[in-house]
Structure 1
Amino acid sequence: MGSLLFVLVLVTCFVGLSAWQVDRAQHKNDAVESADVEEVEPFNEVMEAQAPMPGILADQRVSLSGHWLPDAQVVVPGRVLDGDKGFWVVTMFAPDDARLGASVGADAEDKTIAIPVLRGFTTDEKTAMESRAAEGPVKMTAQIGPVEGPMPGNSLPEGQVRSVSTSQLINLFPDLLTYSGFLIPESATGDAASVATDGLAFVPPTTTRDEGGFDLQSAGYAIEWLIFAGMALYMWWQLLRDDFMRRRLGEDSDSQDPANRVEYVVVKSAGQSSIDPEVMSGLTGLPAHRHGAKKPRKSRGTASKSSTDDNSTNTTPTGGN
């Protein structure tokens, strides 16, 4: 009874976990769908410097004002626009009234807060390296791009990086505090707009977030939990069956009359590797071939001949005088 209770509790847990995974599979994008990324939000209300960026903010449209930091710029090779391979020009932009994350230390007050902004694309490396943003106030509407991690590879020329990685930018510009992610401008106004200028092409924002649907990974986990529940029930049934068979065999042994019980001792002859099948047949009552002897074959010809001989013997001659 105790084992049954344990198995029932285990199966209940497995089924509950399966139902939870199914719920996650059906509602994985509830938070994403509830966030209207098409609506333009004030930048400082959704982003904090030196703080992780929630994935829900990917593709969020924001508005901000500030100024460029022309000397804090990197070129990212290996980017593609309209099928052409070339370079991104990314310049740090200092937003007005920027906010810091709660975990930032006191020494952050002496540093400038800035976020990487994609100013444009070009297929010419020289144009990318020589492009510079203008100085002055800028108002911008942009889309928050995804967080990029460092990419390994061979060394690049000075001023170039393989990805828009926060950790790399911090190493290149130690006097700056930056954000997770970067901005892809939709429009920029002001005398120092500097987006898609100096031979740079405009890079249109793209959608990177998951649009929703049924999460196959969570569905797979749900199926796994159901399999575990089935295995627990099967193992319990197998143990119960084995216990029943052992009890039944024990009762059969106990039901035999001890007074009529016969025990045999079989002694093999010297040099004999196994007991003769005929001897074993006499002890067990099973045919000798069940103990390794050659199974006898019935000959149809012999049987027919024997039958014919019997008929001829029993036939009474007729006729004569």
Structure 2
Amino acid sequence: MTSTPATDPAPPQIFPPTLREVMLRPRWIALLAFSLLVAGVLAWLGQWQLGRAVDTAPPEPGMTEVVRPLSEVVQPGDYLPEPLVGQRVEVSGTWVASDFIVVSSRFNDDVQGYWVTGQLRVAGTAEPTSVAVATGWTQNLDQANAAADELERQAGADPAAVVEVTGRLISDEGPSVPPAGADPLTLVKMSPAMLLGRWHDIENVDVYRQYIASQTAIGPLDDIASPAPDERSRVNWLNIFYAAEWAVFAGFALYLWYRLARDAWEKEVEDLEDEQAEALAAGAAASRD
């Protein structure tokens, strides 16, 4: 009677976890809760942005053409809300004689020219207050400089003379650098902030961030072409774009959790398969010995 040689028992089979089992572990449930919280905040931001994408109470057509006192539209130092850009306003005050300044690169019906601007000290305010005024336009620089000199002479002759100004209220165009080779004091943007740096007698004076483009020329100048602003669309597409971005970010927060959990599961499965392959190889080597 013959006996068969004993063989080594086969290594135990390893069953890797499923993706669902990995996702249900406490660590990944906690991370899912955090991802849902982040996604909820991002979704709320998207809803908030979307709620401001449509103007439910737009200004009535033609409201910018109704002349209103400057003090009722905006206060010194405040920013001008978008619906009020181009609003016709009226204000009275006295000129600061030494502050008539020429601004270049001004267009009247597609013709390039110059504005003469002045510092108007507003009348009837509790604190000294000034607003920049574009008094008129001319195509020729020499004429603009002559007009500035004439306005300065007139204001200096009667500093207490009160003038009435009616025009459109427009936001600061921002600072700019003069063209290469030009006089460093050349202004190519209508910026009250830059004019303020050249004005006189401004200590303890409140200043409007906006300027007034006078609709009737003051002095030996032409009227400034200043048509009514286009009616605003009730839909703000930029806000809609931002709302869509927030929604994408919220979805990405959840996708990131899924991707991290899946990567952890795939690594665990790969490690277990490597361990099982090593065990099988060791068993095969032992049986050959």
TM-score class, shorter-chain normalisation, is 0.5 to 0.7
Change (3 A) 1:235 1:59: same
**After the TM superposition, which of the residue ranges 33-42 and 162-171 deviates more from structure 2?**
33-42
CA distance in 2, matches of 1:63, 1:223: 45
Pairing 1:200–2:216 present: no
CA distance in 1, matches of 2:218, 2:244: 46
1:206 deviates by 4.9
Alignment-derived partner of residue 59 in structure 1: 86
Structure with higher RCO (Cα < 8 A, 6+ apart): 2
1:196 deviates by 5.1
Identity %: 16
Change (3 A) 1:180 1:113: same
Structure 2: stretches of 5+ with no match in the other structure? 1-25, 156-160
CA distance in 2, matches of 1:233, 1:40: 58
Pairing 1:83–2:107 present: no
Structure 1: stretches of 5+ with no match in the other structure? 101-111, 188-194, 266-282, 284-321
Pairing 1:141–2:157 present: no
Q: Equivalent residues in 2 for 1:301-312 (5 A)?
A: none
- Indicate which of 75, 82, 95 corresponds to 1:48: 75
Pairing 1:119–2:146 present: no
1:76 deviates by 0.9
Q: Equivalent residues in 2 for 1:268-307 (5 A)?
A: none
SS of 1:173 mapped into structure 2: coil
CA distance in 1, matches of 2:229, 2:192: 21
- Indicate which of 237, 249, 252 corresponds to 1:225: 249
Query: TM-score, normalization: structure 1?
Result: 0.62
Q: Equivalent residues in 2 for 1:94-105 (5 A)?
A: 94-98=121-125
Change (3 A) 1:222 1:141: same
Pairing 1:179–2:204 present: no
SS of 1:92 mapped into structure 2: strand
CA distance in 2, matches of 1:155, 1:75: 18
Change (3 A) 1:83 1:120: same
CA distance in 1, matches of 2:101, 2:57: 32
Letter matched to residue 181 of structure 1: Q
Letter matched to residue 265 of structure 2: R
SS of 1:72 mapped into structure 2: coil
Task: Provide Cα deviations, 1:71-106, integer angstroms capped at 9, x if missing partner.
Answer: 311111112221211111112212112365xxxxxx
CA distance in 1, matches of 2:283, 2:232: 78
CA distance in 2, matches of 1:99, 1:62: 20
CA distance in 2, matches of 1:68, 1:229: 59
1:251 deviates by 9.0
Alignment-derived partner of residue 310 in structure 1: none
1:126 deviates by 1.4
- Indicate which of 231, 234, 237 corresponds to 2:258: 234
1:115 deviates by 0.9
1:10 deviates by 1.5
Change (3 A) 1:207 1:52: same
Change (3 A) 1:32 1:173: farther
CA distance in 2, matches of 1:196, 1:206: 20
Alignment-derived partner of residue 14 in structure 2: none
Change (3 A) 1:155 1:42: farther
SS of 2:165 mapped into structure 1: strand
CA distance in 1, matches of 2:43, 2:143: 56
Indicate the structure (1 or 2) with the bigger Cα radius of gyration: 1
1:183 deviates by 0.6
Change (3 A) 1:252 1:158: closer
Letter matched to residue 16 of structure 1: V
SS of 1:262 mapped into structure 2: helix
Query: TM-score, normalization: structure 2?
Result: 0.68
Letter matched to residue 142 of structure 1: G
Letter matched to residue 4 of structure 1: I
Q: Residues 68 and 94 of structure 1 are in contact (CA less than 8 Å); yes or no, is this contact kept in structure 2?
A: yes
Alignment-derived partner of residue 144 in structure 2: 128
